[in-house]
Amino acid sequence: MEALNILIVEDDVLTAADIRKTLERTGHRVTASARTFQEAVMAARNERPDLLLLDIHLNGSQDGVAVAGEILKQYQIPIVVLTANTEDETYKRVKETFVPAAYITKPFRHLDLTRVIDLAWHNFRPDAMPEISAVADSVFLPVDKGFQKIIKSEVTYIATKKSTHSVNVYEVYKKEPLLINLSMGHLEQYFGLPHFFRLSRSLMVNLNYIERIEGAQLKIQETGILLTIPEAARTDLMRKLAIVRGPRK
């Protein structure tokens, strides 16, 4: 069995530790164990894995399907899905986003896992994988005297700079926003649905980074920033999100 560098994406710490032991016992090396979308993407960027071992349910608003889609923009690698989620809708979403090398449901046997990984790597053919365009997820915006590449899926929200015709673009991996000398109305055509939602004339938010909604405020994931939800936009916003309400009494 060929030794591989494997990235584990698993939100349960004990399960991740168990998987790591199993892989290392058979000679593989674990590059990292990630629990969230952001951790997984950063781990893949820091060190390219040979194979991705992926859970579907993760901490945060973005799940394993989103992780696969993002990492496949960077690297063409085999992905083994390892999940307790057996719903047909989830399986359909997986197939629509990428072609997994294997799909294993929990609980699993350690021997089965190691053999599946071996076969996934043995049968892997990069030329057979559908290309996921990174171009569609990027846009070049005017900054200083040139144009700066922005990855749209990494933009958490965009806000108009007060008393100007410019906007601040906030990105998940950046401490400071990027100042763009364009109006919100002009920029909106490049940041549309299904991921971006215009809350007001001065604010547009990436729905994937909404971590919590309480009252008239929403919390942006990873930043702790609270944004006010205008009353006029609240109903439309709630329709865009998968809101589960309790049964009426």
Query: pLDDT tens, 38-64?
Result: 999 999 988 999 999 999 888 887 888
pLDDT at 175: 84
Task: Work out the pLDDT band at 248, boundaries 50, 70, 90.
Answer: low
Cβ proximity of 103 and 94 under 8 Å? yes
pLDDT tens per residue across span 125-170? 655 454 444 456 788 999 888 899 998 888 999 999 887 889 999 9
Q: Residue 86, exposed/middle/buried by CB under 10 A (0-12, 13-18, 19+)?
A: exposed
The pTM assigned to this predicted structure is: 0.54
Average pLDDT, the chain: 86
Above pLDDT 70, what percent of the chain?
Answer: 93
Greater model confidence, 174 or 7: 7
pLDDT at 79: 93
Rounded-to-integer distance, Cα 218 and Cα 212, Å: 6
Give 225's Cβ-side CA count (13 Å radius).
17
pLDDT tens per residue across span 76-121? 899 999 888 777 777 887 887 788 888 888 888 888 899 999 988 9
Residue 209 has pLDDT above 50, yes or no: yes
3-state secondary structure of 116: helix
Distance of alpha carbon 247 from its chain centroid, rounded? 31
Greater model confidence, 163 or 236: 236
Cβ proximity of 67 and 32 under 8 Å? no
Q: Domains plus CATH for the chain?
A: 5-128 (3.40.50.2300), 139-240 (2.40.50.1020)
Candidates 40, 44, 39, 46; CA nearest to 76 is: 44
pLDDT at 249: 59
pLDDT at 134: 47
Close Cβ partners of 92 (under 8 Å, ≥ 6 residues apart): none
Residue 200 has pLDDT above 80, yes or no: yes
Lowest mean pLDDT among 155-159, 178-182, 231-235, 239-243: 239-243
Residue 192 has pLDDT above 70, yes or no: yes
* Rounded (10°) angle between helices 110-122 and 13-25: 70
Q: What angle do CA 186, 188, 190 make, to 5 degrees?
A: 95
Rounded-to-integer distance, Cα 126 and Cα 75, Å: 10
